[in-house]
């Protein structure tokens, strides 16, 4: 048996951290323990090791300097919602929206998996800070992992290393807490894989997966599941939202936060490039964040938001110079690609990329692009991702580093809905807006394992990420309702389809036309028609200069289908009822009021 590799002088003064690292080492039995300082030298050494053992493949240095391809285990390519648990003392506190296990049982099951699992491996201790290192809105954690790939990704996605450790120690010595995340790739066996959260203990245990959302514990596990739980008791919001800044020709900037489910357009909207005419007129869009938003009311009653992340873990397929030129520019160097295809000259490739021919698919098998499309499948996995520092993004806003965050003017909810849901509508008030978020539906995507394209309720895009009972979560949202200065709430759908199955709205840069309307509504100077579901613009309320929409598109994007909505609202009522008496009465009353207006 290996000696327990606890260094004589662990580099921390914080007893709680020292003790936890020792306990984990005693359980997992690594050959060595490495405390990450986040330095360039440390990163270079880790990368060199991973290149040597094949974990990373060097990409073409001329076209993609300092960039790498990682091929995951083929069974480990997405989040695993069926294996993800929230372990609260009372099952009701996790709610019907989560898989639940009693904490004792969860720990026992996980500790059995972790027992001795790091033998022959190095254990890395990663102190990290979610959010700007000097922001009062930021929160810290420590991830312990046996995966150097996780270390390299956490270094991009969070503020990781010495500065984070200093903050953790300062806060810890003053009685503050940090989130403890324990991760091992284990054997990458899908039958021995669990992602467990213990929100009451600020603890995460993740075993058996190396995939981003399961293994980079700062992201979904901490910044959403644990943080949403913390935010509830501390009076703030932790949300699955992008944040963008929109500067109009008058030089005013409005910040907008938008919640879309996984692979439904957050990264794309966050990096939007205005259409030609808008650029000429002086519109500018800047990026604060593309996936997670932490918001808290300021002294003036407005919500102030930070992006807790430092990088983007974005969907590669579909990213092109046409759809998202900012993302493409961001990932030209210093990027880790996971599960993309590869060209003969060592460039990353995915479906939708302009140009290039894949010679290998994401598994590393030779790829014959001339074979019939039906027989060859995609070269990149549909959930192939890039990991890259936000600082490389041409549209990244300096305000993203601001410790006080940015004031939010509008909150946008949106899903992938082929039918019924119009391009945009505005909620009547905060309570109605919370219902709009709670009632969100979307067709499933490749970001999680399971069937794709199935419509499911995904309230506020948080179905996979809310660390507590949705009924309590909606009540928490409603509790903000008497704060003056709150943002207006909207709903959008970029994914409405015509009878031919094609998207009716051009999307991407043209989404700015919808945002322009929202900002005008915030300022009180844009038209709309009132309907039971909210205020809907007429086509002429939006600037559609240069957009060619046919009659079908106009009718469906700006139309209101009363019978369809009556059915939808009946379904929303059933959904709310699944939560029993815990569901806030105000939300049910709002649903009943609208259903009645719809004639139901
Ligand atoms: N039709 C259409 N497709 C879009 C639009 N915006 C994004 N998409 C597509 O939606 C897919 C996912 O977009 P992303 O921006 O990566 O989604 P995301 O919400 O950031 O995803 P996560 O990282 O999983 O949270 C890509 O294939 C995009 O090309 C749009 O406005 N219209
Ligand atoms: O969590 C992940 O792996 C990627 C992501 O952003 C999502 O699925 O929403
Ligand atoms: Mn996401």
pLDDT score recorded for residue 181: 98
pLDDT score recorded for residue 7: 52
* 456 annotated to a ligand binding site: no
CATH topology classification for 239-310+396-560: Phosphoenolpyruvate Carboxykinase; domain 3 (3.90.228)
Cβ neighbours of 235 (radius 10 Å): 11
Q: What is the mean pLDDT of residues 14-43?
A: 97
Q: Which of 36, 87, 117, 264 is catalytic?
A: 264
Residue 79 · residue 464 · CB < 8 Å: yes
Tell me the residues surrounding ligand 3 (ion) with CB < 5 Å: 262, 291
Ligand 2: nearest atom to the Cα of 79: 3
Q: What is the mean pLDDT of residues 294-319?
A: 97
Tokens of 272: 């939007």
Domain segments of the chain as ranges: 15-55+79-233, 239-310+396-560, 312-390
* 324 annotated to a ligand binding site: no
Statement: residue 384 has pLDDT above 70: yes
Please say whether the structural domain 312-390 has been given the CATH code 2.170.8.10.
yes
Q: Is the CB of 590 under 6 A from ligand 1?
A: no
Q: Is the CB of 212 under 6 A from ligand 2?
A: yes
| Residue range 227-256, pLDDT digits in tens | 999 999 999 999 999 999 999 999 999 999
Residue 44 CA: distances (Å) to CA of 48, 122, 333: 6, 16, 15
Q: Please provide the average confidence, as pLDDT, over all residues in the chain.
A: 96
Ligand 1: nearest atom to the Cα of 324: 29
Strand pairing class (253-259; 406-414) = parallel
* 264 annotated to a ligand binding site: yes
Q: What is the mean pLDDT of residues 425-429?
A: 97
Q: How far is the CA of 386 from the centre of ligand 3 (A)?
A: 13
Burial class of residue 560 (count of CB atoms within 10 Å of its CB; 0-12, 13-18, 19+) = middle
Exposure string over 492-518, b if 16+ CB within 10 A, otherwise e: bbbbbeeeeeeebbbbbbbbbbbbbbb
Q: What span, in angstroms and rounded, lies between the C-alpha atoms of 195 and 204?
A: 8
Q: What span, in angstroms and rounded, lies between the C-alpha atoms of 92 and 599?
A: 34
pTM for the predicted model, two decimal places: 0.97
Statement: residue 155 has pLDDT above 80: yes
pLDDT score recorded for residue 4: 45
Per-residue confidence at 2, pLDDT binned at 50, 70, 90?
A: very low
pLDDT score recorded for residue 9: 58
User: For this structure, is 264 an active site residue?
Assistant: yes
CATH top-level class of 15-55+79-233: alpha beta
Q: What span, in angstroms and rounded, lies between the C-alpha atoms of 244 and 254?
A: 8
């Amino acid at each position: 048996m290996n000696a327990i590799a606890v260094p004589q002088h662990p580099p921390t003064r914080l007893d709680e951290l020292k003790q936890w690292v020792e306990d984990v080492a005693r359980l997992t039995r690594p050959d060595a323990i490495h405390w990450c300082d986040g330095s360039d030298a440390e990163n270079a050494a880790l990368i060199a090791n991973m290149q040597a053992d094949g974990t990373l493949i060097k990409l073409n240095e001329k076209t993609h300097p300092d960039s790498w391809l990682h091929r995951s285990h083929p069974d480990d390519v997405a989040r695993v919602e069926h294996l993800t648990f929230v372990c609260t003392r009372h099952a009701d506190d996790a709610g019907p929206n989560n898989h639940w296990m009693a904490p004792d049982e969860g720990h026992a099951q996980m500790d059995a998996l972790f027992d001795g699992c790091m033998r022959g491996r190095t254990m890395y201790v990663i102190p990290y800070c979610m959010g700007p290192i000097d922001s009062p809105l930021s929160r810290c954690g420590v991830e312990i992992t046996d995966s150097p790939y996780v270390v390299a990704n956490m270094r991009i996605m969070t503020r990781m290393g010495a500065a984070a450790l200093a903050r953790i120690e300062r806060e810890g010595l003053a009685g503050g807490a940090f989130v403890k995340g324990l991760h091992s790739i284990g054997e990458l066996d899908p039958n021995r894989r669990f992602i467990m959260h213990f929100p009451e203990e600020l603890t995460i245990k993740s075993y058996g997966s190396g995939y981003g959302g399961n293994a980079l514990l700062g992201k979904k596990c901490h910044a959403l599941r644990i943080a949403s739980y913390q935010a509830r008791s501390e009076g703030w919001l932790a949300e699955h939202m992008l944040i963008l800044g929109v500067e109009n020709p008058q030089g005013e900037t409005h910040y907008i936060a938008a919640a879309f489910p996984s692979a439904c357009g957050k990264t794309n909207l966050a990096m939007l490039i205005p259409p030609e005419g808008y650029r000429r007129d002086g519109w500018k869009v800047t990026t604060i964040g593309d996936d997670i938003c932490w918001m808290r009311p300021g002294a003036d009653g407005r919500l102030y938001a930070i992006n807790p992340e430092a990088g983007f873990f974005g969907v590669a397929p579909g990213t092109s110079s046409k759809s998202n030129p900012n993302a493409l520019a961001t990932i030209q160097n210093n990027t880790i690609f996971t599960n993309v295809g590869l060209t003969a000259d060592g460039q990353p490739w995915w479906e939708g990329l302009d140009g290039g021919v894949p010679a290998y698919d994401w598994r590393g098998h030779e790829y014959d692009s001339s074979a019939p499309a039906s027989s060859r499948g995609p070269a990149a996995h549909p959930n192939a991702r890039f990991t890259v520092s936000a600082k490389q993004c041409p549209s990244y806003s300096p305000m993203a580093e601001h410790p006080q965050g940015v004031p939010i003017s509008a909150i946008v909810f949106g899903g992938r809905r082929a039918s019924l849901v119009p391009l945009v509508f505005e909620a009547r008030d905060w309570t109605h807006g919370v219902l709009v978020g709670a009632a969100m539906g979307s067709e499933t995507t490749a970001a999680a394992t399971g069937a794709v394209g199935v419509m499911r309720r995904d309230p506020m895009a948080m179905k996979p990420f809310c660390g507590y009972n949705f009924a309590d979560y909606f009540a928490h949202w409603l509790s903000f309702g008497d704060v003056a200065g709150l943002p207006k709430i909207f709903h959008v759908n970029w994914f409405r389809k015509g009878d031919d199955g094609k998207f009716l709205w051009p999307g991407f840069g043209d989404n700015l036309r919808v945002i322009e309307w929202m900002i005008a509504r915030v300022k009180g100077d844009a038209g709309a028609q009132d309907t039971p579901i909210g205020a809907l613009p007429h086509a002429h309320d939006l600037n559609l200069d240069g957009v060619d929409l046919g009659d079908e598109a106009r009718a469906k994007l700006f139309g209101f289908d009363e019978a369809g909505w009556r059915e939808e609202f009946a379904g929303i009522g059933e959904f709310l009822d699944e939560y029993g008496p815990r569901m806030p009465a105000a939300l049910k009353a709002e649903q009943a009021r609208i259903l009645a207006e719809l004639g139901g």
